[in-house]
Amino acid sequence: MQGLDYIRYVFVTNAGDNSDGKISDKLIEMKSWVKLVLMCYGYIPIREARGSDYENMNFEERARIVHDTNIKRVKNADLLVTFLEEPSMKTGYLLEHGVFNPENEETGRVPIVCLIPKCLKKNYSPGMPYIVKWENSAKLSRTNNGANLSLMLDGIVDKYLDYEDSENREEVIKNVVKAVADYLNSTGRKRIDDIVSDEATKRAVEGILNTDFARKAEHKETLEKALMELAQGERKVHKSTDQTDHTERRKNYVKKLQSAKNIRAFIIGSITNVKPEHFSEHLDFKMAIVNLLRFRFEIVASFALLDNEWDLCNLSEQQKARACYLIDQYSVEKSDLIIALFGKSIGTGLELGRANIKGIPVVALIPEGFDASHQIMGMPNMIATINYEISMLEKALRELAKTISSILPERDIEKNPLSREKRMLLQRIYNIPRTISTAELENRFENSVPRIPPSAEITIIERNGKIAIRKLSGIDSSKIAKDVRAFRRDIQRH
């Protein structure tokens, strides 16, 4: 194995849903060491684009470039490595573009390795049973001060690498380096010093794997040189080539939604990280959204906890995580519209990623104080955003109604008479017709309909105390056409 046949590319990311992309110095150093270990095994790191790289642009331009550039880079990677120090939509979003890539069926999904502190795994066992109680969130997984990682994640991660975390930075880095090196050795991946025989490369590999902090920069330079020689100076193209204006792209998504005949909506949001004392309110809010869409806009709406969770109850522990992922993503794919409640949630990020890949429009509800990352805010399929306060959910619901009405005005019952008429027609399905005699009508209307023969059978529908004729039979209407028309007028007057 030589040269380009040996070289692989790796994309290393971390959790974080903040638009400025800031992370701790400790995590920055941990990521740099992980990249160096991967370089020791022939992986060329692909840099993650951040908003701070484009400070001379406005927020929307930065978000577009960060989004498109990172998606391109993830798709070019042979391995995805992520730090999961907290739940993050951005993490889930990027991972989904790696594991589900219809454009590249030959190579298939990109393997995912997650680095996770052991403190997040204390109360966790893979394939944790669902808690079939409405007052508790079923999708509970690892816990850390109330923050949970989605069970959906277990459905796609190839390997969790847990490490001991502590206040001692050097000790933590040693633990991380060992965890990554042990994993790569277990895969049978050769080290670069098995391919390149010069002494400088061997010293660099040994120095990194033994965490030689003093000579880190020197070892990095040596490894970079060796990798470039093996890659014959070639690099994959990692810059985004799609320069389409997001405004135009979003207009196309709106047109796509407006052209849909029967619209189905799927509501996604952070179920896992809702505090127990707020769970009922969270559920009520989602139910209110379902009812708003269903009865005001004639949109069939659902959400995971209401419609999907019970499908998992009878599965084995080993099947639950993968089934959770597949069922939720199937629900996303079958939808015409996604309503997303933003929050610190990997599952929400995975679902948003699938919606972007499938070109499904998203309306985002962003709670006060949540600083969404450039990666998420750069989604071209996000056709509207609504900022709201957690303490004012009714106002948020009204804003959502206003937003949907502006996008789909012809479906708004409150504005469009035709749509209101359609709603009345739908309600008639629940009215059961019954047949009555002419005599019964005469008694009810005090002999106002004497012109209809007693043998006539009249099928009516009663609605809110009023009568509507469904059918007349047992009479020759051609001979008494005038009487029939008079009869209908008499009925309508009453």
Q: What is the pLDDT of residues 87-145, one digit of tens each?
A: 788 989 999 998 887 765 555 688 999 998 877 643 333 333 332 222 233 333 333 33
Q: Which of 135-149, 323-337, 409-423 has the highest mean pLDDT?
A: 323-337
Contact 383, 28 (CB under 8 A): no
Is residue 320 predicted with pLDDT exceeding 70?
yes
Is residue 313 predicted with pLDDT exceeding 50?
yes
Residue 460: what pLDDT?
57
Give the residue, 336 or 163, on which the prediction is more confident. Answer: 336
C-alpha closest to that of 224 among 36, 79, 77, 74 = 36
Q: What percent of the chain has pLDDT over 90?
A: 34
Give the residue, 211 or 494, on which the prediction is more confident. Answer: 211
Round to whole Å and give the CA distance between 347 and 351: 6
Confidence of residue 188 (pLDDT cuts 50, 70, 90): very high
pTM for the full predicted model: 0.77
Give the residue, 198 or 241, on which the prediction is more confident. Answer: 198
Is residue 326 predicted with pLDDT exceeding 80?
yes
Taken in order of first residue, the domains within the chain and their CATH numbers are 3-230 (3.40.50.450), 247-415 (3.40.50.450), 431-493 (no CATH)
Angle between helices 89-99 and 59-75 (to 10 degrees): 40
Round to whole Å and give the CA distance between 387 and 389: 7
Round to whole Å and give the CA distance between 256 and 259: 5
Residue 179: what pLDDT?
94
Is residue 270 predicted with pLDDT exceeding 90?
no
> HSE-up of 297 (CA within 13 Å, CB side)?
27
Residue 317: what pLDDT?
65
- Mean pLDDT score across all residues of the chain: 77
C-alpha closest to that of 50 among 18, 81, 80, 83 = 18
Is residue 64 predicted with pLDDT exceeding 80?
yes
Contact 224, 54 (CB under 8 A): no
